[in-house]
Chain A
Amino acid sequence: MNFTLKIWRQESASSKGRFETYKISNISDECSFLEMLDQLNEQLVDKFDKPVCFDHDCREGICGMCSLYINGRPHGNDSGITTCQLHMRRFKDGDTIVIEPWRAKAFPILKDLVVDRSAFDKIAQEGAYVSVNTGGIPDGNAIPVPKVKSDLAMDAAACIGCGACVATCKNASAMLFVSANVSHLALLPQGKIEAKERVTKMVAKMDELGFGNCTNTGACEAECPKEIKLSNIARLFREYYVASIS
């Protein structure tokens, strides 16, 4: 297969970026999107050009490092996947593919398609944890947890922190990410104890870092590689209101 790629190139955080157009040919349809970019980079290195920088690591859809806004969709034109799980068979031969970095005030571009998502870490550091030290812990079966709750908690905990929710949201809102963290812990008896403090601090941090607000468009849910549900955002609201009035 052959493709025309329009890729955002930007030297550094402070420099101005632009789109560059590249042609790439003889791509197998079984090839993953990132492997296609690997081949482009081989071409560029061959010409002594600088390869396109993009984040990636595990290449099996779990580390959350890969990003890329491809033809108007984070992680490309498929649902429930990360960019590394996108395969070229999802495109048509001869397609033009526009590749952009995640764009949000809270995710500044570092270079080309690489953005800084440490804002997510900062939000998590505000309270996405249970304050227990290592050791001196009761037996794992000491507190039974209803399977339904535990399963819901797992659904929320599946978040990989990739930032697709922010990237696709028209408001660059981090609400799905925050709600997944809050929901996961609020649903478990272990996390319940600090629930009020947690949600208050995390929401305050999220606001401070410049993420937008939620307007319930549902784009985040549609693009989340782990298919985290909007119901988590509703739970975030509830948790927050309860924490605020009590």
Chain B
Amino acid sequence: MSNFFTSSLGKKLIMSLAGLFLCVFLVVHLGINLLLLSNDKGEVFRVAVHFMTTNILIKIMEIFLFGGFLLHIIYGVIVQIRNWMARPSGYAVSNNSQTSFFSKYMIHTGVIIFIFLAIHMANFYFVKLGITTPLEGGSNPVQDTHDFYNMAINLFTTPAYSIFYLVCMIFLSFHLLHAFQSAFQTMGVNHPKYSPIIKWIGNIYAIVVPAGFAFIPVYFLFFYN
């Protein structure tokens, strides 16, 4: 068992479990984000934010969430470095084998998502902690460090940020298109009947969730008064 965490297979399992956990988190996150769209000056949204930032259970889950992110990222990087080391000198002709396209670029999409995550944290979570300050200016003045509603609206009404956000969601989708079904394969789930269903669910998830996130800036750019 002690070797399990250092073995290639153990690392992969941890990565995939952490990844699937993050997938669950994304759904919750999306659910809250969609509340931004309700036409009530952010009332429901604020209630939700208040719940998420104060509830003790959520606080505990937050630790797990950070753990999930850390494990997924750290193990991902370690695995990638080892994988690069496994082929010190490459081929002159790049590989033409039939592969699942997105699987080849997981580290690249992963890095983009990581950058997004860092910016995203600086914009919201670290503001709450008082590490960073919210974006200056904007149409809606931010009332306090817990005023995520106005922070979000300020950002999403900035076209540059919204486009950046949209692009990141596309990359998130790319990442998830491979990640979701790959996680099941790594957990050892591969069945002639059920794997196609998992793949199908994975594809829907990988499109619907990022699309859900992406809809919000689109809404604020084009439909918000």
**Residues of A bordering B, CB below 8 Å:** 6, 8, 19, 69, 71-74, 77, 79, 98, 100, 103-106, 168, 170-173, 200, 203-204, 206-207, 210-219, 222-223, 230-231, 233-238, 240-241, 244-245
Contact = CB atoms under 8 A, between A and B. Distances in A.
B97 interface: yes
Contacts of A100: 91-93
B158 interface: no
A234 B190 contact: yes
B83 A172 contact: yes
A74 B88 CA distance: 18
Interface string B52-70: 0000000000000000000
Contacts of A234: 185, 188-190
Contact of B87 (A71, A73, A172, A241): A172
Contacts of B178: 216
Secondary structure dominating the interface of B: loop
A210 B91 contact: no
Contacts of B11: 213
B185 A216 contact: yes
B103 A213 contact: no
Interface stretch (B2-10, B24-32, B143-151, B206-214): B2-10
A211 to B, nearest CB: 6
A15 B83 CA distance: 24
Given A72-B97, A203-B9, A213-B8, 16 more contacts: A71-B96, A72-B91, A103-B87, A104-B87, A105-B88, A170-B95, A203-B7, A214-B12, A215-B182, A217-B104, A218-B98, A222-B98, A230-B185, A233-B190, A235-B190, A237-B187
A230 B91 contact: no
B95 A72 contact: yes
A72 B93 contact: yes
Contacts of B94: 72
A172 B90 CA distance: 10
B182 A216 contact: yes
A210 B86 contact: yes
B96 A72 contact: yes
Tier of interface size on chain B: 35 or more
B86 A215 contact: no
A6 B92 CA distance: 10
Contacts of A105: 85-88
Given A206-B8, A216-B103, A244-B4, A168 B97 contact: yes
Interface in B1-46: 1, 3-4, 7-13
B190 A231 contact: yes
A151 B153 CA distance: 60
Nearest to A164: B97
Contact of B85 (A71, A210, A241): A210
Nearest to A19: B92
Contacts of A8: 92
Contacts of B97: 72-74, 168, 219, 222-223
A32 B48 CA distance: 68
Contact of A171 (B4, B87, B93): B87
B182 to A, nearest CB: 4
A213 B85 CA distance: 11
